[in-house]
Structures are given as structure tokens and as C-alpha cells.
Chains A and B, each alone.
Chain A
């Protein structure tokens, strides 16, 4: 494609070895009409400035690496077209995360939250591989399928006003993941996870601003998951009052 035009990208730069605070750097580059925002950032990295750091891999909106703030909105940069924007673009690291370098954010806190919801099938008795598969009807699958589509791109954490105010909030993706297992007909871990969900800084910290679902690039609807989880956690607590739980 040859009908190139030029565009100005203003990108946040931060190298903790050198910079006390983040700064911005402007790049004037030729762009192609069919480029995604990521293509422009990659062009800068490859051809203009090798010192720019960012994460990316699959370039097909499924690995979840390339989330950035584009003109102040959290976006999966391989999914949004450059042509959706004017001649100038502001690219920053995802909001509400500590910055490691340039456009790279710290993910460890997210990974801890992710693990804390016990995102695996919990059953009293595990089936042997030779016993075949569980039966699960298409309707039972439908109940949790949407919440299993999360690619962990963390855009929802950047959009969430609660995360902005309380960084320790468990957050949309992690709660959606826990809820996904709670709603899976093969899982028996609801009591354990509801216990987690009744803890401080989890589902009830959510103010249902719905921003997570607005920015989600995979239509997971984490806000739905979080608020369904609230109701389930309450019902679980109320039933626990009437029918005492078995075992430890």
C-alpha cells in the first residue's frame, strides 16, 4: 500500500534507571491506512527508536499483551485501527498499574489476584482420565462460557474507578474468573470461592460503574459477572445460616 500519510504519536517514556518521572516523546511517522495502533508502535520500535519498550505478540486480539491507553482510553492496540483517530495520538501505559518501563506495566499484582480466586475446578472426587468426560449440556456451558473468554488483557483494571481508588480491589477480570468456575456445572468449589468473595476488597467493593464491560475487547461483560457474584455470595451466606455447612 502506498497512499501513506504521516501521523504524530506522543508516547510516554520512562526508564527507571534514568528518569525520575515519566516524560513524553513525539514521533512523526509515515502510516498505512490499514494499520492498527500496534503497527505504528512497532514501526517506531523497529525503524525509529529501538529504545522504546512495549509488549505484544499475537497481533490478533487473543494473547492480551498489547493493552495501552490510547487517547486516554484503555485499548487493545492490535485491535483498534489507526484510522479511527486523527493526525495525532497519545499513547500511555495502562492506567491504574505501576509502570515498569515506557509502555510496560507491572503485572504481578494482577497475577496474585488472579490466583486468589482459585481459578481451577474443585471437586470432592477427581475423575480418572479413562472414565471419559463429564456430561455438560449446551445450556450448562452457555451459563459460564462468556466469562471464560477473558484474555487477561487488564483493560478493565485501567477503566475501573474502584481499582483507581483502591488498588487492592480484586477487580473485574479476577472476579469474573472466579465466577466462571462457580457457574461451571463441573465445579464444586462455590462455597470456598463465595467465602473469598465475601472478604474485604472483593465483590462488594464494586460500585457497578460498568466501565469494565464498556472497555472489554472480548465482550466478557465482567460487570455482569461481578454483580452476579454479589448475589450468589449473599445467597450462599444466607443459606449457610439456615443449613449449617458440612465438614471443616
Chain B
């Protein structure tokens, strides 16, 4: 029988959203015990890689209305407007809190927090700590969380199943990576904060750990995934590795240039108007692809690329505001941006979609909450604006934490025997997978096939026929993944077993992305169809829901909350 650990709130994921939720619970109810379950130590979580900044109204020339409008327009009017309103109003307080907790925000000469320009934002409202904002926010949150004794960390525990009793989520089964033992970590509410799933694509800014685990957990427990077709391509990733070069490079005045040395966003009409390089990410990524298709790109060993030119900014500004970009350029592509333009191409960066939640982060499964990239609270709609996601982790991490406390206070602990039995079952399942030498499929091979299917089908531009082929490949991969071959039978730190479990999660998530994309026959935000080039509010102004079914994913719809801003043509 598996061991059972009892807590009040179980949080899965140790990045910004998970830590913020844990702190919210610890502050609100110090007597509640919080389990923070994370497959990596919190400071390794992918929040660490975010570079450019976090948005919140800070200046006198800014307003909630403006931040809200920018966000809803950026979302191509698919975001829920009540969510946006709550978000923009809470954002400043959340970033203030981070400041009080020690985040080393960059400063103006008068000692106030400095802000920078960002894509799709009408004024400077992106708070930053040079160009390592995610790193500083994550470390600040993690270090601050250590002062609360009620937060019990389960570092390097991989959650593999939600435990549900009486229709209420009451914990997770988690694999202790170090010992190979499965245990039941129980609580009266569970918050998912496991981040996105960029690794379902071959070329992504995301770290290896971003495998959509929380999405898959919720999905298999019957919670729909929402708006999964909307996958954000960041315009500027390094060819080959996909390492992110922050949008702050353009916020600080960098140019995008084609092989003719032309600032194509200025010289040609890509719909970004005077915003030029500070247009929203979906539009700029499309512009880059069109430049490549028009033959105005450079050819390199990792495909065609364009230039991000910072040479006119000068060494002093780059060292002061973009030191990490300089370091990344030098180490990972051998280019010093002070003297040479950086080769870049669009790269998968962020999932607008995720576990369907309401404004509280509550899912359709009572007791289960989600926040951060894993969730789709519908702040980002069809396209997220840069620097909204770090703030989203804080605002909705905190809210999910507080709402979970309320739920937990009114909820019982559930039937421990029934929950333990489910974890026992999960243990048997994992034991059968570990060292499964009789299998015929290689993990790396299936992973390659999955990512290549996703790249072909769910790229910046999507075709109906390649999308259909992608859906078929994924359905086939879903079958093949049950016959994985695993060589490592050891129970101790078996990373092959983790890779297998991650691959199974990724294939589920990838299938939801592809099927949702095939169903949306319009172009909106990051979802651009070659065959259906216009936005179609008449037929498609709704959220796509994708639900798990052993026979294959089922699709549904959910209304978009309007009310403040009327959908209009998205022109900058």
C-alpha cells in the first residue's frame, strides 16, 4: 500500500503561479497545511527563463482601461472581459508585493520602479529587473515562501494522477523521483500550476520540463481543455536551440530586418501600423514567415532566419538593460549584439489555452483549481501580450489560492481508503511501465514523430490538410505510446520513466491542440488558417472546449464574456 500524506491544500507546480498560490494560502490561513509538489526544485521551474518583464499600470499616463483594451485587442477579442478587468486592477498590487518581498526591480533615478515598452502595449507599463525578470521573480517568490512553515515542499515529486472521491478532487498520486515510490498526497483542494506544454513542438523557447503535465492530469480526469488551438509563436528565438531573445530588445528600440537590410514592419504593411517592432507577437511572427516565404531571409544550417538588430542601441544600454541577451547571443549563437545583428526566427513560446477555469481558477471538477500557463482563465484569448503572463501567474495564483482555502474550509477530507486505493492502482501502473523491456517503441523516436507532426500541422500558418494529417498522426501515436520500451529498471532517480510519463502527457495535450485547431475554421490571433483568412465573429466567437474520451477527444463550446469592449477589427 502506498504512503499517505495529509495536507489541506495540495499545489502541483513550483513556479510563479504555484509559489504565489502557496504564499496566498499561508498568509490567509497559517493553520492550513500546504503541500507544494513539484517535479523539479522550485528555482528550476520554467518561470526562471522569462526575460522581458511583467505588466501592470504604474505611470500617470496609463490607466486600467488602457491596459484592458490593449489586452482584449491583443487577444483578438477572445479573452473574457471580466477576467481582464480583474486582472488589470489587481496587477499593480501584485507587483508591489513582489517589490516588498525583495524583487530587484530596475529603478528610475528617483528610486521608483522603472517600466519599459512592450509589444501591443500603448505605454510603458512593463516592470523589469534587467532582462531576467522571470528569474528574479521566481527566486523572490521561492525565497519568500521559505519563511512559511506551513508550506511543505515535495521537491522532485512527479504528480501522475488526480485523486477524486465523491466527485471532488482531493489530492494527487505522486512519484518520488528519488526513491521511485508512489504516494498519495491528499488535501481538501488541489491547485494545478504546472505551466505549459511547449515541448510538444520541436522548436520552442520552453525548457525540457514544459511537458503539459497538469493539462494532461486535468484532461484525463474529465476537465476540458480550453482554447488549445492558440499557440503563441514568439517572433525572436535563436535558430537551432530556440532560446528566447526577449521582446524587451524591441521594447528598448531594436529593429527587425530582412536580408535586404529593410525594416519590413515599417516598410511593408503587416497590419502593425506605427507600432512597427512593438506590434503583437502573432502579427510579427506572421510577418517574419511572409518575409521568409518572399525570399527575403538569410539561409542557415537551421533553416531560414531574419535579423534582430540592436547595434544602434550602444553597449552601455545593452549592458544596463539587456545583459542576458548579450550573454545568450555570445554563448549560444556566437554573436555579440553590440556589434552584430542577432539571427532569429519565430519559435513556439506559450500556450494561450489550458485547463478550463472560471475567473476564480475553479475548474469543472469541484476542488480542482488551476493558475498560470496550465490554466485558461481566458485572459489571453487568441494571443497573449508579452509581459502579461508573469503578472497573470501572480494575480490568478493568489486568487486560486484564496478560493481554494474557502473551498477547503467547507469541504471534508474524503474517503481516505478510496483515495489510497486509486494511488495503489497508479503505483501498479507505474511499476508496470518502469523497465518495460518488452515494449517496441522508443521514447525519443515517438517524441520526434509527435513534435514533427505538430510542427507540420500547427505552425504559424495552418492548412486544413496538414492539420488533418497531424490529427491522424497523433491518434496513431496515442496508440503506439502504450507499447513503450524502457530499459531502466532502477527505482532510484529513473529519468527514463519520467520521460515516458511526460511523453504520454504530451501526446494527449498535442492531440487536444491539433483537434481544436482543425475545428476552428477562421483566423484569429495566433490561429491562422491559409484557407480561412478572416476572423469570423458570426460563427467562431466562442472558446473551444476539448474533453477527454477514450475513443478520441470530444469538442464543445463556451461563451466568451464580453460587455466592456465591443469586438472590432484588429488593426494597429
Contact = CB atoms under 8 A, between A and B. Distances in A.
A152 B139 CA distance: 10
Given A1-B301, A136-B107, A141-B104, A58 B46 contact: yes
Contact of A120 (B147, B155, B491, B493): B147
A135 B490 contact: no
Nearest to A106: B178
A130 B111 CA distance: 18
Nearest to B58: A133
Interface stretch (B325-333, B362-370, B400-408): B325-333
A47 B447 CA distance: 12
Given A51-B487, A120-B102, A151-B135, A45 B492 contact: no
A133 B41 CA distance: 29
Interface stretch (B89-97, B274-282, B450-458): B89-97
Contact of A17 (B46, B108, B111, B490): B490
A115 interface: yes
B166 to A, nearest CB: 37
A148 B139 contact: yes
A129 B494 CA distance: 43
Nearest to A147: B104
B107 A141 contact: yes
Nearest to B205: A60
Instruction: Bin the interface of chain B by size.
Output: 35 or more
B331 A129 contact: no
A62 B47 CA distance: 10
A138 B102 contact: no
B564 interface: no
B144 A120 contact: yes
Contacts of B243: 59-60
A46 B331 contact: no
Contacts of A15: 490, 492
Given A63-B207, A119-B143, A136-B111, A102 B493 contact: yes
B234 to A, nearest CB: 14
A59 B96 contact: no
Contact of A62 (B49, B100, B491): B49
A129 B143 contact: no
A62 B48 contact: yes
A58 B111 contact: no
A63 B493 contact: no
A115 B155 CA distance: 14
Contact of B110 (A134, A135, A151): A135
Contacts of A4: none
A115 B102 contact: no
Contacts of B43: 63-64, 151-152
Contacts of B136: 148
A224 B109 CA distance: 27
B495 interface: yes
A18 B495 contact: no
A134 B99 contact: yes
Contacts, number: 159
Given A120-B102, A129-B97, A134-B100, A100 B495 contact: no
A120 B101 contact: yes
A145 interface: yes
Interface string A64-87: 110000000000000100000000
A16 interface: yes
A61 interface: yes
B31 interface: no
A58 B207 contact: yes
Contacts of A46: 443-444
B94 A129 contact: yes
A137 interface: yes
Interface stretch (A157-165, A180-188, A194-202, A238-246): A180-188
A129 B100 contact: yes
Nearest to A39: B241
Nearest to B447: A46
Contacts of B108: 138
Contacts of B494: 53
Given A16-B492, A141-B104, A135 B144 contact: no
Contacts of A144: 104
A138 B46 CA distance: 28
Interface string B248-272: 0000000000000000000000000
Nearest to B132: A62
Nearest to B444: A46
21 contacts: A17-B490, A45-B495, A56-B208, A57-B40, A57-B44, A62-B49, A62-B324, A100-B178, A101-B493, A114-B146, A118-B147, A120-B147, A121-B102, A127-B96, A129-B93, A129-B96, A136-B111, A138-B107, A138-B108, A177-B143, A186-B102
Given A101-B490, A101-B492, A133-B113, 12 more contacts: A46-B443, A50-B487, A51-B490, A53-B494, A58-B49, A62-B48, A62-B324, A107-B155, A121-B144, A127-B96, A144-B104, A151-B48
